[in-house]
Structures are given as C-alpha cells and as structure tokens.
Amino acid sequence: MTKSPLTLYGKQVSSRLLLGTAQYPSPAILAKAVEASGTEIITVSLRRELPKGDQGQSSGGSFWDLIKAMDVHILPNTAGCHTAREAILTAQMARDLFKTNWIKLEVIGHHDSLQPDIFALVEAARDLVADGFEVFPYMTDDLVLAEHLLSAGCKVLMPWCAPIGSAQGPVNLHGLRAIRGNFPDIPMIVDAGLGRPSHAAQVMELGFDAVLLNTAVAKAQDPVAMAGAFSLATDAGRQAFYAGMLEPRNMAVPSTPVIGQAVFEDAVFGDV
C-alpha cells in the first residue's frame, strides 16, 4: 500500500509515527532513533531549552542544534503545566523560541496518573486558538471533551490510550472506538501509554491517523531498533484497517470449502 499523506493544520507528512525527545541515553541515540522511525514530527518541551548563561550561551543550545539538524517538524509541548495560565504562557514562549504556531497542549490535573484537567484544557485551548495557535490537545477518550475542544477551534485531537509512560497499551478500547467513530473526519493521534509495537498496530487498526510515543522507545534496551519496530507496526496497523479485517466470530468457520471435495467410498473387490 502506498503511504497516503497525513494533513495536520495544512501540513502534509507521510509518516504516521510521532516521537518525543526526552529520556534517551544520549543525543546521538536520539538522532539515530528519529532516523530509524522515519518520523517527520517530534515533540520538544520548552524545559529542554534553558535560558542563556553568564557567557550569553544557551545551555540547551547543543540540543537545539541537534533538533534543527534532523530536518523534521517541531511540535513544542506544554509538559509539566498544571493550570491554563501556565500552559498559555509556556505555549507563547515556545512559539517565540521554536518559530511555530503548533503546540501540543498538556494541562495536567492529577499528579499520579498525569490525567489532563479537562476544564483547564478547554480554557487554554480556546485562548490559544484565539491567539493564532494550532493546538494539538492531549486529552482523555471523552466524547463530551472532544466536542468542547472542537468547538474551541482545535482541528486535531490526541486521546490517550493509557497514562503517560505506563506502557499499558489501550485500556479502554470501547472508548477509543467511540471517539474515533463519532468524529470520523477529525485527524486523531493516539498519545501516551503505548508500550509495545503491537499496541501501536492495535490502535491504528481502529482507524486512528497516527500515534505519538516517547518512553517506549527512549527507555528500550535498543531505542534505535525499537523505533524501527514501532514504525513497521504503525504502518501495518494502518494497512490492516484499510484492507478490511475479518471480525471475530463465536463459531468456527471451515477455511476449506466442503462443496467440491473428493469423496472416498469403500471399494468392493470381487474374485480375480
């Protein structure tokens, strides 16, 4: 199957896999993992870019140089923000630094699960859209929340499949099916909780447009090989969705047709 482009706020990419850039063993391994994944979009936290030091040099400059050398789209995020105001300020600073209107909007409401604060998320999304941002909201698989985010002006949704970094995979397939089915024309990227390439294939088989992950690759024993595995799984899941998968059945169905089979009868032998 030829890879069809994915359009996000007017930009087209061919890869359906997005990668985060945190927690890698080294910048060199990060660069190799990005290359192995084939991704064209990476997320970057503003906290990776620190203010300039006493000598006027940015202590995050080497990291930023590495990111620019990858020649991919940058999706800054508001990771670590717990209020709408904090997320809005972080987004504005990220736009100044990374020169993009894209922003992955995270507003965390629960410290242990890192579940989004749905009320602050909608508030921040509405204000950021009004300020010219193109918002990618990190959200739960909630239909009402999706409606509010779309009404706020978001043109992409990013439902989780499990808490960030948990590697649990899709814990609520019914919820994911429902949100995909209710908004079939909205680009949706499953974000957070993916632990194995099979998880990526599973959600792509549901008809989602892409997946975003970080920890499962960055913390793997071999991040470069794992990045390649997730790339293959993402493509396989998408191809399976469009190929039309066989639905589960409660009964066995013979794979070999009965009609037309050879029939063997007892032979009657007479005297020779």
pTM: 0.86
List the catalytic residue out of 52, 68, 104, 155.
Answer: 104
Distances in whole angstroms, Cα of residue 173 to Cα of each of 75, 117, 141, 202: 27, 22, 10, 9
Task: Kindly tell me the burial class for residue 83, based on how many C-beta atoms sit within 10 Å of its own C-beta (0-12, 13-18, 19 or more).
Answer: middle
CB atoms within 10 A of CB 148: 20
pLDDT of the residue at 47: 64
DSSP 132-150: T-EEEEEE-S-HHHHHHHH
pLDDT digits (tens, 9 = 90+) for 163-190: 888 888 899 999 999 999 999 999 999 9
Per-range mean pLDDT, top range of 41-50, 227-236, 254-263: 227-236
Does the annotation mark 99 as catalytic? no
Average pLDDT score, the chain: 88
pLDDT of residue 17: 97
pLDDT tens profile 54-112: 444 554 567 778 888 888 999 999 998 999 999 999 999 999 988 999 999 999 988 77
